[in-house]
Amino acid sequence: MISILADHNIEGHAILLAGTFYAQGWSELFQVRFTTFREAGLSPESSDRAVWQFVQENQMLLLTDNRNRKKKDSLEQTMREQSSPESLPVLTVGNADRLTEREYREKCAARLAEIIYDLEKLRGACRLFLH
């Protein structure tokens, strides 16, 4: 089973994406569980570094709308410093607000399925975009 942690600021959008993923039948091919920060025991105030370390330790994918702040604990900086060939990629939605659009959401769900299919080959890729 693949677990996907929805970043706290796009949990509502992640619910829409998950619904589309399941409705399109991808869940018949791939067992995927979408989870929230609360379900994972994370605080919404968790640093990008703490979140990245959590998903790597728990072999989860992080679904985000673009955590790339320029701080020393930013997601981008953390990935540069700590990523390895075994690291799971971060999934970034190009425009989370567009997940309310059915066609965009369907494209993102199909891209998510492609990534899951090739996940072992994609380890070490820091960030992959869904759009």
CATH architecture of the domain formed by 2-130? 3-Layer(aba) Sandwich (3.40)
Comparing 46-55, 71-80, 116-125, the range with the smallest average pLDDT is: 71-80
Residue 57 burial (CB < 10 Å; 0-12/13-18/19+)? exposed
Closest among 58, 57, 114, 74 to 91, alpha carbons compared: 114
Q: Is 129 helix (H, G, I), strand (E, B) or coil?
A: strand
Instruction: Report the chain's mean pLDDT, rounded to a whole number.
Output: 94
- Tens-digit pLDDT profile for residues 71-113: 788 888 899 999 999 999 999 998 999 999 999 999 999 999 9
User: Could you give phi then psi for residue 4, rounded to 5 degrees?
Assistant: -120, 120
In the predicted model, is pLDDT for residue 34 greater than 70?
A: yes
Q: How many angstroms separate the CA atoms of 78 and 87, rounded? A: 12
CA angle 96–16–130, rounded 5-degree value: 45
68, 76 contact by CB (below 8 A) = yes
35, 3 contact by CB (below 8 A) = yes
Q: Please tell me the pTM assigned to this model.
A: 0.93
Q: Residue 131's pLDDT band (boundaries 50, 70, 90)?
A: confident
Where is pLDDT greater, at 20 or 77? 20
Percentage of the chain lying above the pLDDT 90 cut:
88
The ranges assigned to domains in the chain are 2-130
Tell me what pLDDT residue 53 has: 97
